Amino acid sequence: MKIALLLPNMRKSRPKQITDTSEVFKYSDRVWQPIMLATLDAILEQKGHKTEIVDATALNYNLYDILDAVKYSEIIVVQSRRMDYYASADPNFQYVLDTINFLKENTASKIIVIGPYPTYYPSYFTQADYLVTYEPEITLPKLIRKKETENCSRRIWNGDPPDLNKLPHPNFHKLPMSKYESESIDMPRKPFAWLTTARGCTFKCMFCLAGRIFQTYRERSLDLVFEELTILVEKYKIKSFMFMDYNFTYNRKRAVNICKGIIERGWDFKWTCETRGDLLDKTMIKLLAKAGCVGLGVGVENLSSSVQKDIKKQFDVYEVVRLIKKAGIEPSCPLLMGLPNETLEDLENALKFTEDLKIQHGGLKPVIPYVGTPLHRYGKKQGIIKNDTSEEVKRNMGAFSEVSKEQQLQILHKFLKIRRKLLYKKMLVHPRFALKVLKHKLRRTKWFS
């Protein structure tokens, strides 16, 4: 059977002016490998299907280009999000729905949608023939097999969590690898790649979806991780890389072995990762730096210890960030607005933190009450969330504290101003950095947040 694996074009242009805090989600120019599709491609090939991957984001395809690329496929598998392995999902996924509707109108192919959106919001995907929720690697081939042999009336297929050690390497060679690029100013732009070495998260932060899409925590063996990295280094000559695990240092021994493995092999690519602040200490941070880590994402979310306790994310933010900076790594510290029990003072403190510690990465965003999270349940119980329509999701972004949306917008504008100031100051002090930024800016018309 001929199968197209499609990532719709997810590039979204920058709004001219931010007039609503929800607009921080509206801009994206990330061009990263659709790793889930590349893995599915390898699995489906092993089962004898004729497959192709169409990365309409990397190729910047419009709907007619996409149609040309997929029209002869009997099945089109649509990945609903750029990185289907990730914890938070942009609530604006109209472009995915538009692509599906267009393909339904113009092809006779069966459409299967995978990823977080059909998992969280299945009722939005009325035009799709089938939905595979949660993880697709085991269930998608079963659905395709069933379709080949008999009539298949069940529309929603819940994905079973795969053993990560039984998954093949992604079919990198079927992706336009030269198109992918790092967003980080601290790493070479290209050649870039990212991988997940473990799925799931055992923490239960109030707002986070991680425990929903991946129902258990699982690791890929280090032998397989290093095999994949070797392909990326030797064949694709990667210069920048991201470990996209939710908490790279969750299994400390494993993180240490990955770092040591990179050092022993003499690989010189630069890389970034993310983890929790309470899973870091001086020794770990120093080792990350020695292995080439140049950017470390640590979700700060809120500066108030009582809010941190409520959301189940407590650590000494100032101390951790100082250690990271001291090791020569750039910290990225995402912050949230509108969490329960947050005050205006907490948000002012978030601005002070950004300015005092010169935090140049990680945005300030309104919290989204994703279906299935403790925050969503809290919102329902408090009568804040009435239903799960997209209008309601938008209305309830950042709606759980006493800080009004107007105040949040003012804080956001102040935050962006601080960021611009930090950037300009750094550019004045470091001319080489200024040159890099200008090149970066020429390439992308984005605000530096």
* Chain contacts with ligand SF4 (rule: CB under 6 A): 87, 201, 203, 205, 208, 210, 246-247, 276, 299
Residue among 52 and 278 whose Cβ is closer to ligand SF4? 278
Which residue pairs from 219-222 have beta carbons closer than 8 angstroms and sit at least 24 positions apart in sequence? 219/164, 219/251, 219/254, 220/164, 220/165, 220/167, 220/196, 221/164, 221/165, 222/254, 222/257, 222/258, 222/261
Nearest Cα neighbor of 121 from 195, 209, 32 is: 209
Question: For residues 57 and 84, is the Cβ–Cβ distance under 8 A?
Answer: no
Q: Are 338 and 400 in contact (CB under 8 A)?
A: yes
Residue 274 beta carbon to ligand SF4: minimum distance, rounded to whole angstroms? 8
Residue 114 near residue 80, CB atoms below 8 Å: yes
Q: Answer whether 31's CB lies under 8 Å from 182's CB.
A: no
Nearer to ligand SF4, 191 or 211 (CB): 211
d(CA 252, CA 275): 11
Check if the beta carbon of residue 346 is closer than 8 Å to that of residue 402.
no
Of 240 and 247, nearer to ligand SF4 (C-beta) is 247
Nearer to ligand SF4, 292 or 297 (CB): 297
Backbone φ/ψ region at 445: left (φ over 0), alpha (ψ -120 to 50), beta:
beta
What is the closest distance, in whole angstroms, from the C-beta atom of residue 401 to ligand SF4 in the complex?
18
Burial class, 210, CB count within 10 angstroms (exposed 0-12 / middle 13-18 / buried 19+): buried
Q: How many angstroms separate the first and last alpha carbons of the chain?
A: 44
CA distances from 2 to 8, 285, 392, 441 (A): 18, 47, 39, 41
Closest distance of CB 102 from ligand SF4, Å: 34
Least CB distance to ligand SF4 at residue 187 (A): 22
- We find the least distance from the C-beta atom of residue 218 to ligand SF4, in angstroms, to be 14
User: Residue 247 Cβ, how far from ligand SF4 at the closest point, in Å?
Assistant: 6
Report, in Å, the least distance between residue 315 CB and ligand SF4: 11
| CA dist., res. 72 & res. 75, Å (int) | 9
Rounded Cα distance, 237 and 308, in Å:
41
CB atoms within 10 A of CB 60: 12
Neighbour-count burial of 241, counting CB atoms closer than 10 A to its CB (0-12 exposed, 13-18 middle, 19+ buried): buried
Please tell me the distance from the alpha carbon of residue 277 to that of residue 301, in angstroms, as a whole number. 11
Residue 246 Cβ, how far from ligand SF4 at the closest point, in Å?
4
Smaller CB separation from ligand SF4, 9 or 332: 332
**By C-beta, is 53 or 210 nearer to ligand SF4?**
210
Q: Which of 82, 276 has the CB closer to ligand SF4?
A: 276
Q: How far is the CB of 284 from ligand SF4 (least distance, A)?
A: 16
Closest CB to ligand SF4 among 170 and 299? Answer: 299
Query: Which one, 285 or 409, has the nearer CB to ligand SF4?
Result: 285
Instruction: Classify residue 129 by its DSSP letter.
Output: S
Q: Read off the amino acid at residue 62.
A: N
Compute the least distance from the CB of residue 285 to ligand SF4, in Å.
18
Residues 321-336: b if buried by 16+ CB within 10 A, e if exposed? bebbbebebbbbbbbb
Please identify, using beta-carbon distances, which residue of 27 and 85 lies nearer to ligand SF4: 85
Closest contact distance (angstroms) between CB of 73 and ligand SF4 is 35
| Residue number with CB closer to ligand SF4 (198 or 238) | 198
